A and B are shown apart, each in its own frame.
Chain A
Amino acid sequence: MILSNVGFFSLLLGLLSSFAVFLCSVLNIKNNLLKLEKKIYKFLTIQFLFVIIGFFILLYSFLISDFSNETVYNNSHTTKPVFYKITGLWGNHEGSLLLWLLVLTSFVLFFFFSSRDEPKNFRLYTVIFHQIIVIGFFIFVLKTSNPFDILFPVPSEGLGLNPILQDPALAIHPPILYVGYVGTSIIFASALAAMVTGYVNNVWAKNLKKLVLISWTFLTGGILLGSIWAYYELGWGGFWFWDPVENISLMPWLSLTALLHCISTLEKRDLFKNWSIILSIVTFMLSVTGTFLVRSGILNSVHTFANDPSRGIYILIFLFVLIFISFVIFLIFENKNSENKKEIFFLSKETSVLINNWFMIYFLSVVLIGTVYPIFLDVITSEKISVGPPFYNKLLIPFLIPFFLFMSVGPSMNWIKTNLKFKVSHIYYFLFTSTATIITIYVLSQKDFLIIILIFSLLFLTIKTIANFLKKNTNHAQNVSHLGFAMLMLSILFNSISSTEIIKNIKVGDSFVSKNEKITFEKVKTNEKKNYSSIIGTFEIKNNNNKIIKLYPEIRVYNQPIIATSEAAIKTTLFKDRFITINLIKDEQLFNVRYQNKPFMIWIWISTLIIIFGGTFAIFGKKKNYT
């Protein structure tokens, strides 16, 4: 109980030091005092330390299962393994906001320490704008979602953590995702500050690019972990469902990707100033909108923790304030950063970047409209519609073909102007891609025209990207990420067109045949664990060459809270995943068995890791001036 009070007061003190930072920064803009700047350092550190204290107190409360704390009581249980006691901290609304605050304050501290060489007023304005966000979130946490609410009398046992959240990939995905999400706040603040101080130039772009890369890389990692969780834990054999919550993480990713390309142009050519600013603002707005949609309970998903309307309203107001501030600042200071009137040639890297942004914004608008349209329609006409995969497939897939083709040639363009010369190698690329496409469609026996063109454009992209590695003066980080992207799209395409599935209701001892494999349901046994008991089935998969694979799918019944989940058994090989889930059928001896063949599953994860590696490479790699 004392602990919770200490935690609450440390957050309160954190809020006070945020005000202090804000005040010091405002004062320091007019009077150039070294003393004040030192004070900003001090208060920023203090603010960070108080959040850390709050964070660790909550962590400790989770570890010792202190049920006098309401958050712990609602989301933990004494029988839970230590790992899930720790991760239970952010498996709920209050705790995850504390984590959000922690990342927020550490980012501004990191920014202030790492930006010593930049103009003083720019730094101060960045801190001021960022502190507005920090203060907003402090008040949000303290007022609507205090993680240190006290329960009296103290309950003897907690309510437990939702079992489908008890998974390693999911347990670590919030911190990674949050670094990506919250990182956009400093990009937002920096963009506004650069506008106000007239600092929107190539030096700013160069420094901001690093922050963009950090956010982008972590966001990619967070999305990857979320997908891995969906694949292994949800047990449907899919990894992306166009679920609103997935869309919400994809939207800032798309605008960050656009920003990443745009900011490179600003860095190299001093072009697209306003557009870079708009993208920086939009990215952060999308992050906050995501928080609003998830936390308000408007969306129906695993991530909707508690449906408390006051939280939604608070974030909504906060969002409008931020939009209003950025809009006003944009209008006032737009002229200060007048656009360079340089000529843009059609065949140039500048055009490629514009085209990239064009498609990114289009994809973004598809995802955004698809996510929010049903909400608005529900409010206006109280009619519920579902916007699912068919919508996204129809609007995205046809546009992917030109996108891939542009992406193949874009990186080979030069800045300013490219002279198109006829080279024999162009014919080679074309012939090579065509041959590879013909072989592929023959093997997959595809007759769908759209898919054939998709395969062609993707193979062309892959081949061109690989060829880029061999060039002199090439940006390897970019090549790696582009190659990862091409591989990702190829794996997803092959996976989606050639996955197969068999669903059977069978007894123990029965077997069934799938093309060249015989699957036998050998036995079931039961198992007792600390936090769940389970039924484990044993399956034997025998192929024509008498090679045997054993798989052990489970049905788990968790004790706190009592929920049954189906755990898939997955055998991963380089070329395909074999995926089995079992389910009980009421009042019968039968089990519902679902056997899936999922080609190239592992390549989806590997290629995303390659994309992430490209990002990491760009952050830490040596700075070179690419042509």
Chain B
Amino acid sequence: MVKKKFIIFLFLFINFFGNCFSQTEPYSKLENDIAKNLRCLICQGQSIYDSNSEFALSMRIYIKDQIDNGYSESQIYNMLVKKYGQWIVYDPGYSKKTFLLWFIPILFFILGGAIIYLKIYKSKKYEKFF
């Protein structure tokens, strides 16, 4: 009975917040996604998406133009990286230079897992011997 009530409550709760989502957006989703991944070069730690600077606004226009010209997301990034350097995109990407950036944390994860496995496995072995 209690569970039933709880489910009803949950249902109402979820339905209630369902009303708050709106969809209309002047910039397309693709434009916003690209803008979020670009650093505003004249601000401190803001993306093009977050910034209101003139640089950001002109970048927005540039992005829109390039999309209209039929370029894809990665092509636009490539053009911008050529022009401003890797600094402008927030996604460091996969390359020779960023190999360690991606690999070291994963290595930590694998090592950690191995250590835990050994710890449990070893302690079992210990019991067998004594």
Q: Show the binding face of A for B, using Cβ within 8 Å.
A: 236-238, 241, 243, 300-302, 341-346, 351, 354-355, 357-358, 361-362, 365-366, 369-370, 373-374, 377, 381, 383-391, 395, 399, 428, 432, 435-436, 439-440, 443-444, 494, 498, 500-504, 513-517, 566, 575-576, 583, 586, 592, 594, 597, 599-600
Is the pair B52, A440 in contact by a Cβ cutoff of 8 Å?
Answer: no
Distance between Cα atoms of A366 and B54 in the complex (Å): 34
The answer to whether A373 touches B112 (Cβ under 8 A) is no
Known: A342-B123, A384-B87. A501 touches B25 (CB 8 A): yes
B22 x A383 contact (CB < 8 A)? no
**Do B116 and A355 touch across chains, with their CB atoms under 8 A apart?**
yes
CB B45 to nearest CB in A, in angstroms, measures 5
13 more contacts with CB within 8 A, not counting A391-B101, A515-B22, are A300-B44, A344-B119, A365-B108, A366-B105, A369-B100, A377-B97, A388-B37, A391-B92, A395-B105, A440-B14, A514-B24, A599-B20, A599-B21
**Inter-subunit contact B101/A243 (CB<8 Å):** no
Identify the closest chain B residue to A599 (Cβ): B20
Tell me whether B100 and A498 are in contact (CB under 8 A). no
A435 touches B90 (CB 8 A): no
Give chain A residues whose Cβ lies under 8 Å from the Cβ of B87.
Answer: 384-386
B70 at the interface (CB under 8 A from A): no
With A342-B123, A358-B112, A366-B105 known as contacts, the answer to whether A373 contacts B22 (CB < 8 A) is no
Which chain A residues border B101 with CB–CB below 8 Å? 369-370, 373, 387, 391
Is B68 an interface residue when CB atoms closer than 8 A count as contact? no
Partner of B112, one of A362, A366, A514: A362
Shortest CB-to-CB span from A232 to chain B, Å, is 15
* Complex-state Cα separation, A243 to B45, whole angstroms: 7
Residues of B that sit less than 8 Å from A by CB: 3, 7, 10-11, 14-18, 20-27, 32, 36-37, 39, 44-47, 50-52, 54, 85-92, 97-98, 100-102, 104-106, 108-109, 112-113, 116, 119-120, 123-124, 126-127
Report A-chain residues with C-beta under 8 Å of the C-beta of B98.
373, 385
Q: How far is the CA of A448 from the CA of B12 in the complex (A)?
A: 24
Most buried by B among A351, A355, A385, A504: A385
18 A-B contacts (beta carbon < 8 Å): A238-B50, A344-B120, A354-B119, A362-B109, A365-B104, A369-B100, A370-B101, A381-B97, A384-B87, A386-B87, A395-B102, A439-B14, A443-B15, A443-B18, A494-B17, A500-B23, A500-B24, A515-B22
Residues of B within 8 A of A576 (CB): 17, 20
- Quick check: A386 and B109 within 8 Å, CB to CB? no
Given the known interface contacts A386-B89, A440-B14, A502-B26, the answer about A343 and B124 at a Cβ–Cβ threshold of 8 Å is yes
What's the nearest-Cβ distance from chain A to residue B5, in Å?
13
Once the chains bind, are B20 and A575 in contact (CB under 8 Å)? yes
Q: Is the CB of A385 within 8 A of B86?
A: yes
Rounded to whole angstroms, the CA-CA distance of A500 and B26 in the bound complex is 11
By Cβ-Cβ distance, the 3 closest A-B pairs, closest first, are A388-B90, A515-B22, A390-B91
Q: Is the CB of A369 within 8 A of B86?
A: no
Which residues of chain A have C-beta atoms less than 8 A from B85's C-beta?
383-384
Set of chain B residues within 8 Å of A385, measured between Cβ atoms? 86-87, 92, 97-98
In the bound complex, do residue B26 and residue A301 qualify as a contact, i.e. CB atoms below 8 Å apart?
A: no
* Majority secondary structure of chain B interface residues (helix, strand, loop or mixed): helix
Minimum CB–CB distance for A423 against chain B, Å: 16
A301 touches B92 (CB 8 A): no
Contact (Cβ within 8 A) B112 A566: no
**Of the candidates B17, B23, B90, B100, which one forms a contact with A389 in the assembled complex, judged by CB atoms under 8 Å apart?**
B90
Q: Are A301 and B44 in contact (CB under 8 A)?
A: yes
A614 to nearest B CB, angstroms?
A: 23
Give the distance to chain B from A458, nearest Cβ to Cβ, in Å. 14
Chain A residues with Cβ under 8 A from B26's Cβ?
502-504
Residue of B nearest to A351 (CB): B120
Set of chain A residues within 8 Å of B108, measured between Cβ atoms = 361-362, 365
Contacts of A516 in B (CB 8 A): 22
User: Contact between A435 and B7 (Cβ–Cβ < 8 Å)?
Assistant: yes
Within the complex, what minimum Cβ distance (angstroms) separates A123 from chain B? 32
> CA A134 – CA B113 in complex, angstroms?
38
Residue numbers in A under 8 Å from B89 (CB-CB) = 386, 388
Residues in B whose Cβ lies below 8 Å from that of A504: 26
- Is the pair B105, A341 in contact by a Cβ cutoff of 8 Å? no
**Which residue of chain A lies nearest to B130 when distances are taken between CB atoms in the complex?**
A341
In the assembled complex, which residues on chain A have CB atoms less than 8 Å from the CB atom of B45? Answer: 241, 243, 300-301
Report yes or no: A361 in contact with B112, Cβ–Cβ below 8 A. yes
Q: How far is the CA of A112 from the CA of B108 in the complex (A)?
A: 37
Known interface pairs A344-B119, A443-B14, A599-B17; A517-B22 also in contact (CB < 8 Å): yes
Nearest Cβ in chain B — how far from A368, in angstroms? Answer: 8
Q: Are B24 and A515 in contact (CB under 8 A)?
A: yes
Chain A residue contacts of B21, Cβ below 8 A: 444, 498, 500, 515, 597, 599
Evaluate whether A597 and B22 lie within 8 angstroms (CB atoms) in the complex, with A362-B109, A443-B15, A575-B17 already known. Answer: yes
Chain A residues with Cβ under 8 A from B102's Cβ? 395
* Alpha-carbon gap, A597 to B24, bound state (A): 11
The answer on a CB contact under 8 Å between B105 and A369 is yes
Bound Cα distance from A355 to B119, whole angstroms: 12
Contact B100 A373 (CB under 8 A): yes
A341 to B128, CA, bound (A): 13
Closest residue of B by beta carbon distance from A370: B101
Q: Which of A343, A513, A575 contacts B16 (CB 8 A)?
A: A575
A residues in contact with B22, CB < 8 Å: 500, 514-517, 597
Q: Closest A-chain residue to B20, C-beta based?
A: A576
Give chain A nearest CB distance to B55 CB in angstroms.
Answer: 13
**Complex Cα distance A503/B51, Å?**
12
Instruction: Tell whether A343 pairs with B127 under 8 Å between CB atoms, given A388-B37, A388-B90.
Output: yes
Output the nearest chain B residue to A498 by Cβ-Cβ distance. Answer: B21
Q: A302-B44, A361-B112, A390-B90 are in contact. Are A383 and B97 (CB under 8 A)?
A: yes
A236: contacting residue among B17, B50, B97, B109, CB under 8 A: B50
Can you name the residue of chain A whose Cβ is closest to the Cβ of B120? A344
Q: How far is the CB of B58 from chain A (nearest CB, A)?
A: 12
B102 — nearest CB in chain A belongs to which residue? A395
